[in-house]
Structure 1
Amino acid sequence: MADIYQAITDRILDSLEQGHLPGIGQPWDPSRRTPLIPCNAVSGRQYSGINVPLLWGEAEGRGFSQDRWLTFRQAKEAGGTVRKGAKSTLACFYKPMKREIVDDAGEPVLDDEGNPKEKHFAILRGFNLFNVDQCDGLPDEVTNPPATSVEGFDSVSELDDFIDGCGIKITHSLDREIAGYYPRQDRVLMPAKERFHDADSYYSVALHELTHATGHESRLARIGITDPEPFGSDRYALEELVAQLGSAYLCGHFGIRNEAFDAAYIANWISVLQADKKAIFRATGAARLAAEFLKQTHEENRTPASTDQPLKESAEAKPKRRPQADDQDIELFGHQWPLGDSVKLDSTVDRGTFRAQVTRLKQMGYQFDAATQTWTYSAAAAA
């Protein structure tokens, strides 16, 4: 069986050895296409995690005009055909898991502190995609979907509202030469906007630093921020990779070019990925969670669109939950993370994982409804 971990890591390494990450840090110019988050051309569902840089890299390297993909079967069912001789692109389904370790009697094995020991693993399988540019005879709604705004954002200027609504303090200064996030102050320091050569470069750098800020102990408690190590270390390199990818995901979401790239980290990233073929999967998973955290926080903080809504109704509205999580929650819930207000667990997972999911849902304030077999978030239980 082919080693999918190694095959995907090798593709990322190829890009790094050429001096960039897929879709990130290219020598942009106005004539080049701005990459959007890759999506399935039939369902419209966006790809996530490791598939985003993988598909960006393929579209970039092979000169495809769109970030729209589909399987051979989907092309046929849509009334089209994949062009003869077209080379497919490897993508993957990746679901981190963990399982409770049990003894011969089926009882949990405990560690020195009395907690059940767990084994971490992942479900990984590859599948092949084709870009719409590789197909003939597809209907217009598949190849040329109508233009739509992205979740209510009509222009780059709306990113100011997004950044302000993330709840993270940003200070601008004409005297600053570099941007940075400072965990002790829990503050992002940025050069003044007028010091950037265009809007895309400013916003991509700001989103890079905000991704770092999601790692603060009061948010996602990512070890690269809560317990940092110096430049040159694997932990430092991975945290920068998370921020780089988080900024790229958000730029792709809003349809702007990503220019928040520092070639100084390339050698460190190459070293980390060469030593650990699963590192890129952890980094893309953490970046996805960080981007989703920022989007959800903004959604919670934004002013209601209607000014006619009674203040009392607004005050009594059910508060939304913030995903106070770390990488273990990503591994535990896999594709179900981030969780919604209602969660239905997959009863076919192994017993240890299912029990761990139930325990974690209770900790986060979810209550079980036996009639519907779903877990529903309760603000009172979470208080």
Structure 2
Amino acid sequence: MNQMINGKARSAPGARKERKLRAADGEGTNRKSLYEEVTAKIISQLEEGRLPWVQPWDSTACAGPALPRNAITGRPYSGVNILMLWGAVIANGWPSQGWLTYGQALQAGGNVRKGEQGTMVAYADRFVTDEEKAGVAAEGGQARTIAFLKRFTLFNVAQCEGLDPGLARDPLPLPGREIIPVAEEVIAASGVDFRIGGDEAYYVPSADFVQVPPQPAFYAQVDYYRTCLHELIHATGHPKRLARTFGTSFGTKDYAREELVALSGQSAPSATLQ
């Protein structure tokens, strides 16, 4: 119901609030749908054994050591988008962390190759409706913002063709080895059979050895040593050392406890590596 104030129709006090709630409900529905979609994507990566947020190296040994970023502006993506884009790079073995929208590929003088599938990411922000601005101008007070979340699609530069050569470049590859003496001393002092190679990091209790990917496969040099320490801490649980009980199945209490030991143990010494 409207009220007449100074000859002008004004919304009843409850009407403005009701409109806000309706708008917020609509935005909430969209956010929920997008959250569910992102969650489903991450769960599928977990089921496939791909955990880019705890695997700080590139199992393809192709992509450069960088956060995903816009190939035109060089601006890095953030939040859950990092997980989504890292997961896509790892799954497809693309040699770049550069991304573009379909329109940006055209802007860069090229195009997305026919048949390529994009990767969904999200953009979050807040805005003030015109109605809210008008209400604040007339009644005073502080404008209330409405949160929104929208999706858009990105394509890796490896999915494009004909792009201008002046795009933001991937960082140079890491050197084959960058020695951090204190970390090397810890590795040597452990007495554990320590092997470098492959595209996985693990400790094998039955054979008592640790294996990690080579340094150039990691997104940051320090992550190489963090991973080394993590696996070496697992090795301290061997029967001839501290004789901890290892869980053999993901999700069991023993497995979770052992991972907590390794995570808490690597955090303190790894702080000295930076």
Question: What's the TM-score, normalizing by structure 2?
Answer: 0.47
Question: What's the TM-score, normalizing by structure 1?
Answer: 0.36
User: Which one has the largest radius of gyration?
Assistant: 2
